[in-house]
């Protein structure tokens, strides 16, 4: 944003094609907000289920944990949890990065790195659950 020490000036750049076509917003501004709320609501029961699972599995052996995941409901609920949790996390951390990282190149690199790491961890978690379950 504006550097308060620099001399103030105004020149807004907008592409001539964009002006000619009268293009405004991309019409997708609500999606991020809505997806964050949908995943939040999904995580209300799922996080309580997760907390209960952690209590049940505290001090469990690997065989006991595999037995827990082998119950279809547990595997499915864990996969639901992983999907909602990582989606919610990606949306939330994206906003944090957008708020505090002002350099365009660093922000783009951070967002891409974040999304990549989250997809990787989500898949690693889901595959691990499936390996334990099957």
Partner 1 sequence: MKDVRDALMVGRNTEGKLVNRPISPFMLGSAYKPQMSSMTSIMHRITGVALGAGTLLLTLWLVCAAAGDTAFSIIQAFLASWLGLLILFGFTAALFYHFCNGIRHLGWDAGRGFELPVMHNTGRVVIAATIILTVAFWAAGLYFW
> E strands within 8-123?
none
Query: Which of 18, 32, 56, 116 contacts partner 1 by CB under 8 A?
Result: 56
The dihedral region occupied by 20, where left means phi > 0, alpha psi between -120 and 50, and beta the remainder, is alpha
Q: How far is the CB of 20 from partner 1 (least distance, A)?
A: 18
Nearer to partner 1, 26 or 55 (CB): 55
CB burial class (10 A; 0-12, 13-18, 19+) of residue 32?
Answer: exposed
Rounded Cα distance between 49 and 38, Å, is: 17
Nearest Cα to 35, choosing from 84, 95, 99, 98?
84
Q: Which is nearer to partner 1, 60 or 109 (CB)?
A: 60
Q: Out of 89, 94, 101, 111, which residue is the one contacting partner 1 (CB under 8 A)?
A: 89
- Residue 9 as a binder of partner 1 (CB under 8 A): the answer is yes
Site string for partner 1, 57-86 (x = CB under 8 A): -xx--x--xx------------------xx
**Cα distance between residue 121 and residue 86, in whole Å:** 8
Site for partner 1 in 22-41 (CB under 8 A): 37, 40-41
How many other CB atoms are there within 10 angstroms of residue 47's CB atom? 15
Q: Point out which residues bind partner 1 (CB under 8 A).
A: 1-2, 4, 7-12, 14, 37, 40-41, 43-44, 47, 51, 55-56, 58-59, 62, 65-66, 85-86, 89, 92-93, 96, 104, 121, 124-125, 127-129, 131-132
């Amino acid at each position: 944003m504006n550097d308060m020490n620099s001399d103030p000036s105004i020149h807004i750049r907008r592409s001539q094609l964009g002006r000619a076509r009268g293009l405004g917003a991309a019409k997708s501004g609500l999606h991020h907000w809505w997806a964050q709320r949908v995943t939040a609501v999904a995580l209300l029961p799922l996080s309580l289920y997760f907390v209960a699972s952690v209590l049940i599995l505290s001090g469990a052996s690997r065989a006991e944990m595999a037995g827990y995941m082998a119950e279809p409901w547990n595997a499915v609920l864990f996969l639901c949890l992983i999907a909602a949790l990582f989606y919610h996390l990606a949306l939330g951390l994206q906003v944090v990065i957008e708020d505090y990282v002002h350099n365009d190149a660093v922000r783009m690199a951070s967002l891409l790195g974040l999304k990549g790491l989250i997809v990787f961890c989500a898949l690693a978690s889901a595959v691990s659950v499936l390996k334990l379950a099957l």
